[in-house]
C-alpha cells in the first residue's frame, strides 16, 4: 500500500479511537491532551496544542499540548488579534494553513514558535454553531505541505473536540442548574417553615383572647332579658365560633406545612363519633330550615380521632353552607371487608364536573355567593386524609347535591363481626 493511502487509513483509525473516548464522556483535559498527541502523531509533526480563548482578556491560553518546553502548557498566553494565525482562525471561523513562515507575510512569528523552531503550522477553530472554544494547532519544525487528507483529518478532530466541549458545557450547566434549584428549594422550604411557625404562633396567640370573648358572651347571655339583645349575643357567639374554626384551619395548615403533624391512630366507635360531630352543626342546619340526619352504625374504625374529626367537620360545614333547602345525611357504608366509607350527602348546589379537582386547591372557592370563608376547608381535609392514608371521594350533580366520602380502615373487631 502506498504511503498516502496508508496515512489516510491511519487518520481514520485515530479519529475512530478518539471519537469513542469523546463519546463516552472522558474528562475534558484528558481529551484535549489526547487530541494533541493524536494529531501530532497523525501528521508526523513535533508539536500540537489546544488554545482556549479567554474573552475577559481577549487572548489564548495554552490549555493542552505536546512537544513544548516545561511551563508552556497551562501558563503560556498568545495574542488573539488578526495578525496571529490562531487569532485569524478564531475571528474568521476558517482554518489557517501556513506551510512556511518565511513566505507568509502578514503574520507575526510569536516568541513561543520562534523558541521552538516552528516553521509551519495549521490552526483549526474548535467551534459549534453558537460557541467557539478555541483553536486546535499543529506545528512543524520544517516547512510542510498539508494535503487534503491532512486538512480533513484536522477539521474532523476539531469537530470532535467541539462536540466534547459542548457536552462538557451542558453537563456543567446542568449540574449548576441542579445546584441552584436545590438551593432555591432549601430557601423556599426554610421560608415556608418560617411562615408556618409565624402562623402557628399568631394563631395560638389569637385563640386565647377569642376564647375569653366566647366565655364572656356566655356569661352575659343570661343577663340579657329582651329578645333583640339575646339575638345579638347569639350572633356574636356564632361569629366568634366561626372565627375560631377559621383559626383552627390556619393552624392545621401551619402544622401540615411545618411537618410537625403526626397522626395518633386509635380505634374509634364510628356511630357515636359521627353523632357527636353532627350535633355541633344541627342548630346551624335547623336555622336554615334543613334537616340533619345521622344513620347509626356499630362499626369501629382506625384513625386519628382529632384529625378525622377535623375532616368530617369541614365536610359537614360545607354541606350546610351550600345547601339552601332539603337535608344533610351523615352515615357510612362498608366497602369490601375492611374499608368504611364515611359519607356526607346534601341536596345543595352541587359542583360542575370540571371543577371537582379544583375544589381541593388552597384558597379556591368555586361559589362565592355562600359565605366568605378562606377556601381552606376542603384543601385541609384532603391533606389531612392523605397524611393518614385515607381516600377522599366526591360525587356531585349541579343543582341536585353532592356526596363527600372519606374511606377509612375498619378496626379488627369490626372486620371479624
List domains and CATH numbers for the chain.
3-176 (3.30.450.40), 263-416 (3.30.565.10)
Measured CA to CA, the distance from residue 175 to residue 79 in angstroms comes to 32
Measured CA to CA, the distance from residue 347 to residue 328 in angstroms comes to 7
Q: Could you tell me how far CA 410 lies from the centroid of its own chain?
A: 37
Q: Could you tell me how far CA 167 lies from the centroid of its own chain?
A: 24
Measured CA to CA, the distance from residue 385 to residue 383 in angstroms comes to 5
C-alpha cell read off for 139: 506545528
Residues 6+ apart with CB under 8 A from 167: 22, 25
Which residue in 250, 252, 268 sits closest to 260, CA to CA? 252
Which residue in 116, 141, 146, 144 sits closest to 11, CA to CA? 146
pLDDT given at position 1: 44
**3 state SS of 47:** strand
pLDDT given at position 412: 83
Q: Alpha-carbon dihedral of residues 188, 189, 191, 194, nearest 10 degrees? A: 170
pLDDT given at position 171: 76
279-303 pLDDT, tens digit per residue, is: 988 888 998 999 999 998 999 999 9
- For residues 319 and 346, the answer to whether their CB atoms sit within 8 Å is yes
pLDDT given at position 335: 86
pLDDT given at position 199: 66
Measured CA to CA, the distance from residue 83 to residue 62 in angstroms comes to 18
Measured CA to CA, the distance from residue 14 to residue 155 in angstroms comes to 13
pLDDT given at position 370: 52
- Tens-level pLDDT at each residue, the chain (417 residues): 455 666 667 777 777 777 666 666 668 888 889 889 989 988 899 999 999 999 999 999 999 999 999 999 999 999 999 989 999 999 999 999 999 988 877 788 889 999 999 999 999 999 987 889 999 999 999 999 888 888 888 998 898 888 888 887 777 777 887 888 888 778 776 776 666 666 666 666 777 777 788 788 888 888 888 888 888 888 888 778 777 777 776 777 677 766 767 888 999 999 999 999 999 888 889 989 999 999 989 999 999 998 999 899 989 999 999 999 999 999 999 987 799 999 999 999 999 888 888 888 865 555 545 555 445 778 888 989 999 999 999 999 999 999 999 999 999 876 656
pLDDT given at position 103: 83
This model's pTM is above 0.75: no
Amino acid at each position: 500500500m502506498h504511503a498516502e493511502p496508508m496515512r489516510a487509513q491511519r487518520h481514520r483509525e485515530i479519529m475512530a479511537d478518539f471519537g469513542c473516548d469523546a463519546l463516552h464522556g472522558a474528562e475534558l483535559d484528558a481529551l484535549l491532551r489526547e487530541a494533541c498527541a493524536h494529531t501530532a502523531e497523525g501528521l508526523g509533526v513535533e508539536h500540537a496544542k489546544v488554545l482556549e480563548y479567554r474573552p475577559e482578556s481577549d487572548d489564548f491560553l495554552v490549555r493542552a499540548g505536546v512537544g513544548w518546553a516545561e511551563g508552556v502548557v497551562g501558563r503560556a498566553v498568545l495574542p488573539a488579534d488578526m495578525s496571529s494565525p490562531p487569532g485569524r482562525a478564531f475571528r474568521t471561523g476558517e482554518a489557517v494553513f501556513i506551510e512556511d513562515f518565511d513566505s507568509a507575510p502578514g503574520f507575526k512569528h510569536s516568541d513561543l514558535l520562534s523558541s521552538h523552531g516552528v516553521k509551519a503550522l495549521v490552526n483549526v477553530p474548535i467551534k459549534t454553531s453558537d460557541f467557539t472554544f478555541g483553536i486546535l494547532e499543529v506545528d512543524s519544525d520544517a516547512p510542510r505541505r498539508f494535503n487534503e487528507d491532512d486538512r480533513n483529518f484536522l477539521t474532523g478532530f476539531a469537530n470532535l473536540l467541539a462536540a466534547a466541549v459542548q457536552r462538557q458545557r451542558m453537563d456543567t450547566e446542568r449540574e449548576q442548574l441542579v445546584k441552584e434549584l436545590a438551593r432555591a428549594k432549601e430557601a423556599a422550604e426554610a421560608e415556608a417553615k418560617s411562615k408556618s411557625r409565624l402562623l402557628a404562633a399568631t394563631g395560638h396567640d389569637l385563640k386565647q383572647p377569642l376564647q375569653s370573648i366566647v366565655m364572656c358572651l356566655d356569661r352575659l347571655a343570661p343577663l340579657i332579658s329582651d329578645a333583640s339583645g339575646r339575638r345579638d349575643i347569639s350572633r356574636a357567639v356564632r361569629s366568634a365560633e366561626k372565627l375560631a374554626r377559621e383559626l383552627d384551619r390556619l393552624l392545621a395548615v401551619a402544622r401540615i406545612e411545618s411537618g410537625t403533624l403526626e397522626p395518633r391512630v386509635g380505634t374509634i366507635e364510628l356511630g357515636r363519633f359521627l353523632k357527636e360531630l353532627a350535633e355541633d352543626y344541627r342548630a346551624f342546619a335547623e336555622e336554615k330550615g334543613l334537616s340533619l340526619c345521622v344513620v347509626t352504625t356499630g362499626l369501629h374504625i382506625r384513625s386519628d380521632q382529632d384529625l378525622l374529626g377535623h375532616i368530617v367537620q369541614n365536610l359537614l360545614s360545607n354541606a350546610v353552607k351550600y345547601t339552601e333547602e332539603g337535608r344533610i345525611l351523615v352515615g357510612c357504608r362498608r366497602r369490601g371487608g375492611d374499608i368504611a366509607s364515611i359519607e356526607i350527602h346534601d341536596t345543595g348546589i352541587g359542583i360542575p364536573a370540571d371543577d371537582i379537582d379544583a375544589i381541593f386547591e388552597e384558597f379556591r372557592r368555586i361559589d362565592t355567593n355562600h359565605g366568605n370563608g378562606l377556601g381552606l376547608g376542603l384543601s385541609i381535609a384532603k391533606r389531612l386524609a392523605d397524611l393518614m392514608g385515607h381516600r377522599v371521594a366526591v360525587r356531585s350533580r349541579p343543582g341536585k347535591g353532592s356526596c363527600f366520602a372519606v374511606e377509612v380502615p375498619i378496626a379488627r373487631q369490626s372486620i371479624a363481626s
